[in-house]
Amino acid sequence: MKKYLLFISIFTLISFGAMCQVEITGTVSFSGETLPGANVYLKNTSYQALTDDNGHYTLQGIPNGHYTVVVFSMGKKTLSKELDLPGSKTSLVLDFEMEDINGELEDITVTGKKENTNGIRRLRTVEGTAIFEAKKNEVIELGDLTANLATNNSRQVYAKVPGLNIYESDGAGLQLDIGARGLDPSRTANFNVRQNGYDISADALGYPESYYTPATEAVDRIEVVRGAASLQYGTQFGGLLNFVMKKGPKDRKAAVTLRNTIGSFGFLNTFTSLGGTSGNWNYYTFFQYKKGNGWRENSQFDAKMAYGSLEYEPNERFKLTFQYTFMDYLAQQPGGLTDALFAEDPRQSIRSRNWFQVNWNLIGNHIDYKFNNKLKLNIRNFALIGGRDALGNLGRIDRTDDMQERNLFVDDFSNFGSEARLIYNYKIGKQPQVALLGARYYRGLTDRKQGLGTDGSDADFNFLNPDKLENSDYTFPGNNFSLFAENVINLSENFSVTPGVRFEYIRTAGSGYYNKTILVKDKETGFAKDSTYQVPEDLDRRRSFIFAGLGLSYKVNDYHEVYANFSQNYRSINFNDIRVNNPNLVVDEDIQDERGYNFDLGIRGGKSMKFNYDLSFFYLRYQDRIGAILKTDPENYRIYRYRTNIADARSMGLEAFGETDILRWLAFDKRYKLNLFTNFSLINAKYINSEESPVEGNYVELVPPFSIRPGITLGIQDFKMTYQYSYVQEHYTDASNARFTPSAVEGIIPTYQVMDLSLSYRYKKAKLEASVNNLTDNAYFTRRATGYPGPGIIPASGRSFFLSLELNF
């Protein structure tokens, strides 16, 4: 009887719950015509829908209660309606007629399921406290990609961003190496790299290399803004690269994700995240551990990463966020190869004593305050306490390891920064306008030591003579203060002008010593011998300047936009430019900062899921570009690399991206998709106005003249498969345009092509992923390193297989 009564009770509850669920349907229109792509959602819930090509939407399975229905579409006035769902109704029809914005701009926060973007979209005019009007940009939505996220595979993650040059020398995804338009990809040093809007690089002033790369399994989206980002984010020529981390779900107190990946060459990755919302608190945290042996000999690695975010939002006006990131890894570096060794066997290694370790502690704090619908403030504070140590033999790779004491580089970083942004919405006549005013203070301190380590083979990062280093010992303090402003001026409903200006004060200094070796005549023997002496040094460079930019945007209609942008850029010399002891490199002591500008002109657009495109022309001008050329020592006729301001340079070209879902055009069921995409770039980059006659007229290094990355994604309900092809044309690695040198540090990067295949299948709370990287097992390389992790050719990984299982609770 008890079992029978329990069954009746459960059946009654289920039946009652089913009867209490309501379906809301309707149509969204504008100016008498239906409006596709509008976002209809219930505020503070996970119920959300996008209107189809006929402007129709459906929200299903909604329990009884009080709700606020919100309708949002870019360029239209946001609508909202209070709603009580009684138990007597199972369906409800709500139609909405939208209007143009004729007043202030409104803040929109979508808390439900996001629109499927096929993995790429663009930033809106204003997002948070940042302006992106008329700027060349891309947003990579990680949740919509079918890619190998466990290894942070850059070739797949950035497949839909045109014009990037990617170093594929790290098969584990421990570091990110991307450049654009002739900028060195090494550790993404020519981009301003941020996480949740604050800096994550080693030292933004003097050493802007990124040793920490966020785990893409925990990243919600990646924002890429080209050179025009200099006005809001600093002066780097490459622009902005911002990793936006995931947050806990709004509609659950606790959500757990477990991901485990196994792969070729002993690869193991485990990822666990926990997040949710309780009252006014939202939290998200994850831990990742990965290890492997690597594709080449002597390339094992062991890495740990953790992240925590706690957000407190007592009301709609105020929000306080604290975040902490930890990363620690140790990797053996197999070193470089000569051209002959690479042709013989790209998997071999002739360096077994090279090691690299990184420890990163990143602290972030956001304070958001909304004074009213017109005025909003964001303050972001951040700090870094970290370090990186490199140990090994940096001698020429065409010589065997002498098994002597190894070179040891130890860098410790302690940085702090604070950035405040105030964004104000107003109107002139009937046209809405938005203004941004910001200020930034940054203090960086790098302690750099270089000397001899042990002659062993293990990862022993201790100096042999810590009190008297054989190479150098420096502290590099730096300070930066900047003010910036931008204003979106809408002259009509379709045309806007966005001027901007930035003031920068930069101080980079250095204090310490380096050892210098010269040839002297031995009084006893009369022969020349090496003599080493210590050179004390104090460096202090201060400069201030103002630079500006202007953006233009003309929206042809809801689906197409013509844009143009001009922005000045500036890059200060870094510590590697000032002082580094590398047997493969000599640095000009009078090296100067670089200046220039970026110009973009393009057309872009899209319509719901049917198509998406961006076609643009760019021109980048570099003054006093820093680079390396080959010189000959007049005393011993030794050829060496000389780093200096070698010339002015210009880079111009065409960047294009396009994708379309064929089945959307054929009006197929939305559960099926056949998405075709491609990006390609045509770039011509040359040196001009050079005092070095062998350089003028040469091609700028690290600029593939042509690259293309097409692909196709097939989706059948919960199954998705993506095939991707990459082709990159031959290009040079130094300003002299050398095709081959015995050291293998200079020379060409031959044309290469590579294919990848990724699959995923979701069933309820489980998801299975598989991928094959470098499907045809091509032997190729993308980099010739001058120092670590070389020197010489760094081969890319061969064919590898990966399998992932994800569970959600």
Class of domain 240-808: mainly beta
Which of 539, 582, 212 has its CA nearest to residue 409?
Answer: 582
| Tokens of residue 341, six digits | 């060794």
Q: 3-class SS at 18?
A: helix
What's the pLDDT at 13? 38
- The more confident residue out of 689 and 711 is 711
Helix (H, G, I), strand (E, B) or coil at 599: strand
Close Cβ partners of 115 (under 8 Å, ≥ 6 residues apart): 39, 50
In this predicted structure, the answer to whether residue 107 has a pLDDT above a threshold of 50 is no
From the list 457, 150, 142, 146, the residue with the least C-alpha distance to 291 is: 150
SS3 17: helix
Question: Quick check: helix, strand or coil at residue 14?
Answer: helix
* CA–CA dist 672, 325 (Å, integer): 39
Alpha-carbon distance 323 to 196, whole Å?
9
Please state which architecture CATH assigns to domain 1-100: Sandwich (2.60)
* pLDDT band (50, 70, 90) for residue 169: confident
Nearest Cα to 679, choosing from 654, 656, 703? 656
Q: Tell me: pLDDT of 767 over 70.
A: yes
Amino acid 670: pLDDT: 77
- What pLDDT does 691 receive? 75
The radius of gyration computed from the CA coordinates of the chain, to the nearest angstrom, equals 28
**CA distance readout (Å), 308 to 248, 314, 325, 436, 683:** 11, 20, 7, 30, 41
Residue 516 has pLDDT above 90, yes or no: no
| pLDDT tens per residue across span 377-428 | 999 999 999 999 999 998 889 888 989 999 999 999 999 999 999 999 999 9
| CA gap 113, 7 in Å, rounded | 34
DSSP lists the bridge partners of residue 627 as 644
Q: Is residue 520 within 8 Å of 555, Cβ to Cβ?
A: no
The beta-strand segments (E) located in 13-72 are 22-30, 33-34, 39-42, 48-50, 56-62, 65-72
Mean pLDDT value across residues 563-591: 78
Computed over every residue of the chain, the mean pLDDT equals 89
Judge residue 599's burial from the number of C-beta atoms within 10 Å of its C-beta, 0-12 exposed, 13-18 middle, 19 or more buried.
Answer: middle
Q: Supply the pLDDT for residue 584.
A: 58
Region label for 441, one of left (φ > 0), alpha (ψ between -120 and 50) or beta (otherwise): beta
Q: How confident is the model at residue 87 (pLDDT cuts 50, 70, 90)?
A: low
Query: CA 241 → CA 104, 136, 178, 375, 621, distances in Å?
Result: 29, 12, 10, 26, 21
pLDDT for 589 equals 75
Phi, psi of 155 (to 5 degrees): -60, -35
The answer to whether 135 and 125 are in contact (CB under 8 A) is no
Q: Are strands 240-245 and 192-195 parallel, antiparallel or unpaired?
A: parallel
Q: Which two tokens stand for residue 293?
A: 């042996």
Confidence of residue 572 (pLDDT cuts 50, 70, 90): confident
**Three-state secondary-structure class, residue 662:** helix
Question: What band does 74 get if pLDDT is binned at 50, 70 and 90?
Answer: low
Q: Which residues of 40-64 are buried (b: 16+ CB within 10 A; e: fewer)?
A: bbbeebebbbbbbeebebebeebeb
pLDDT in tens, 239-287: 999 999 999 999 899 999 999 999 999 999 999 999 999 999 999 999 9
Q: How confident is the model at residue 577 (pLDDT cuts 50, 70, 90)?
A: low
Instruction: Give the Cα separation of 654 and 600 in Å (integer).
Output: 10
Q: Per-residue DSSP letters for 233-278?
A: H-S-SS-EEEEEE----TT-S-EEEEEEEEETTTEEEEEEEEEEEE
Close Cβ partners of 505 (under 8 Å, ≥ 6 residues apart): 479, 480, 481, 482, 542, 543, 544
Which of helix, strand or coil describes residue 5? helix
The region, left, alpha or beta by phi > 0 then psi within -120 to 50, assigned to residue 205 is alpha
Classify residue 601 by burial, with Cβ atoms within 10 Å: 0-12, 13-18, 19+: middle
Amino acid identity, position 690: S
The answer to whether 567 and 549 have CB atoms below 8 angstroms apart is yes
Most distant CA pair in the chain: distance in Å?
Answer: 112
C-alpha pair distances (Å), 423 with each of 379, 393, 491? 12, 52, 19
Q: What residues does 326 pair with on adjacent strands?
A: 306, 361
Report phi then psi at 423, rounded to 5: -120, 135
Q: Rounded mean pLDDT of 776-801?
A: 94
- In angstroms, the Cα distances linking 525 to 189, 432, 635, 655 are 49, 84, 20, 64
Place of tokens 């692909």: 711
pLDDT above 70 coverage of the chain, percent: 92
The pLDDT, as a whole number, for residue 612 is: 94
Higher per-residue pLDDT: 108 or 425:
425
Model pLDDT, residue 35:
87
How far apart CA 153 and CA 157 sit, in angstroms, is 6
Domain-wise residue ranges, the chain: 1-100, 240-808
Q: Note the pTM of the prediction, 2 decimals.
A: 0.86
Average pLDDT over residues 211-218: 96
The answer, yes or no, to whether residue 233 has pLDDT greater than 80, is yes
| pLDDT, position 76 | 77
- Alpha-carbon distances of 17 from 24, 68, 268, rounded to whole Å: 16, 21, 44
Distance CA 313, CA 321 (A): 9
In this prediction, residue 581 carries a pLDDT of 62
End-to-end CA distance of the chain: 34
Region class of 737: left (phi > 0), else alpha (psi between -120 and 50), else beta: left
Structure tokens at 125: 């005019």
Per mean pLDDT, which range of 247-261, 290-304, 615-629 is the poorest? 615-629
Write the Ramachandran bin of 152: left for phi over 0, alpha for psi from -120 to 50, otherwise beta: left
Contact predicate 629/642, CB 8 Å: yes
| 144 phi and psi angles, rounded to 5 deg | -100, 0
Q: What is the pLDDT of residues 468-504, one digit of tens each?
A: 899 899 999 999 999 999 999 999 989 999 999 999 9
> pLDDT, tens digit, for every residue of 682-710?
999 999 988 776 888 999 999 999 999 99
- As a whole number of angstroms, the distance between CA 786 and CA 795 comes to 14
Residue 765 Cα to chain centre, angstroms: 29
Residue 2 has pLDDT above 70, yes or no: no
Which DSSP symbol is given to 457? S
DSSP conformational letter for 231? H
- Residue 328 in tokens: 């620690």
- Give CA–CA dist 442/222, Å, rounded: 24
Query: Which of 146, 57, 67, 81 is closest to 111 using CA atoms?
Result: 67
- Among residues 494, 298, 260, the alpha carbon closest in space to that of 393 is found at 298
- The answer to whether 224 and 239 are in contact (CB under 8 A) is yes
Query: CA-CA distance, 680 to 163, in Å (whole number)?
Result: 7
Candidates 375, 322, 314; CA nearest to 107 is 375
Comparing C-alpha atoms, which of 625, 538, 622 is closest to residue 573? 625
Same fold, 1-100 and 240-808: no
Q: How many residues does the chain have?
A: 809
pLDDT tens by residue, 170-180: 888 999 999 99
Q: How far apart are CA 707 and CA 448, in angstroms?
A: 38
> Rounded mean pLDDT of 298-327?
97
104, pLDDT greater than 50: no
Q: Quick one: how far is CA 321 from the chain centroid?
A: 22
Do you find a cis peptide bond into 36, omega within 30 degrees of 0?
A: no
Which of 394-422 are b and which e, b meaning 16 or more Cβ less than 10 Å from the residue's Cβ? bbbbbeebeeebbbbbbbbbbbebbbbbb
Q: Is 763 exposed, middle or buried (0-12, 13-18, 19+ CB in 10 A)?
A: exposed
3-class secondary-structure state, position 105: coil
Neighbour-count burial of 721, counting CB atoms closer than 10 A to its CB (0-12 exposed, 13-18 middle, 19+ buried):
middle
Note the pLDDT of residue 461.
97
CA distances from 798 to 347, 398, 785 (A): 9, 23, 19
